[in-house]
Structure 1
């Protein structure tokens, strides 16, 4: 039986998953740290459009799902796990860090591939809740672009082209998360529910 449970935060890149995780104050497992290194020959490639030939970093096969699930299981069972540090700008892992729950009975797992772990977490009794965090596509586009430019994640033109492609793809991303068992919500809605503010407000006279 798990001693802790995970709150899974899915949603498009730039939708506010990391911001919500910070507001909640729970320990955080960054699922994007389980990306494959940029020189991994198994990385999927975009086959059409202006980004044809580039690595498809939004495809689940660009990510180590089993490694992520192993870390989730370890955190739920022991409250401690050593996980990779992935630098997007460098396309690779740059060391390790320790995630420690510090006695908390809940923690957050967030990332663009978060929907892929929901079913296993639910089946194994690890899941506290699963949300797909959404905003208007234009809001998500702008937040993602300004963040990625600020952090120098990729060359500006690559970020711009990728941003337009992701904006067009947002509806599909959200639909996939819902099929995998996530519930659609804004960051404010999920925060209110997870902190009990929604229940208190509903019960107020």
Structure 2
């Protein structure tokens, strides 16, 4: 879902302290994300954007083909923003917000962002610390939007139940 950010020159992007607020759900194109998910459910394939975070823009599209997979996972920090709409359209098998130690999330995010050279190291470090502090509020927001807080193993167990043709076990 990270490829559905708006381009950096989009005039609707939210700002905070004179800078684009990339942590705001308003920096993300939820409507397009839902349309692509609907197309994947309906047709099994869709063209999805390719977003270059270091350039703050979409640079291409790529064909995503489910190849007869019975389920797919749409994940990202703003995925909970579309839970209600996906439920309304009957596109959703489950919605989960990962609950794990904040330090683990911080280290994984920082390692990924540095490896992908998403931004400069100082920006990534300060952004990472800010997100570390905000993580409890993010989890509360995601569960408030309809995602269920769960540890990774629990999510995998529920997905396995779905793949076996059973409703999610609680």
Q: Do they superpose with TM above 0.5? A: yes
Query: Aligned residue for 1:95?
Result: 60
Equivalent position to 1:162, from 127, 140, 146: 127
Which contiguous aligned blocks of 4+ residues in structure 1 show a shift greater than 4 angstroms? none
Distance 1:77 1:69 in 2: 12
Query: Aligned residue for 1:18?
Result: none
Distance 2:103 2:74 in 1: 25
Distance 2:43 2:58 in 1: 24
Matches within 5 A, 1:1-205: 31-46=1-16, 52-196=17-161
Alpha-carbon shift at residue 64 of structure 1 (Å)? 0.9
Alpha-carbon shift at residue 105 of structure 1 (Å)? 2.2
Distance 2:33 2:105 in 1: 25
Moved more, 188-197 or 94-103: 188-197
Distance 1:96 1:61 in 2: 21
Distance 2:153 2:52 in 1: 28
What are the superposed Cα offsets for residues 17-63 of structure 1, whole Å, 9 maximum, x if unpaired? xxxxxxxxxxxxxx1111011122221112xxxxx322111101111
Alpha-carbon shift at residue 154 of structure 1 (Å)? 0.5
Distance 1:98 1:137 in 2: 34
Distance 2:139 2:98 in 1: 9
What are the superposed Cα offsets for residues 68-100 of structure 1, whole Å, 9 maximum, x if unpaired? 111111111111111110011111111110111
Moved more, 188-197 or 144-153: 188-197
Alignment coverage as a number of residue pairs: 163
Unaligned runs of 5+ in 1: 1-30, 47-51, 200-205
Alpha-carbon shift at residue 191 of structure 1 (Å)? 0.9
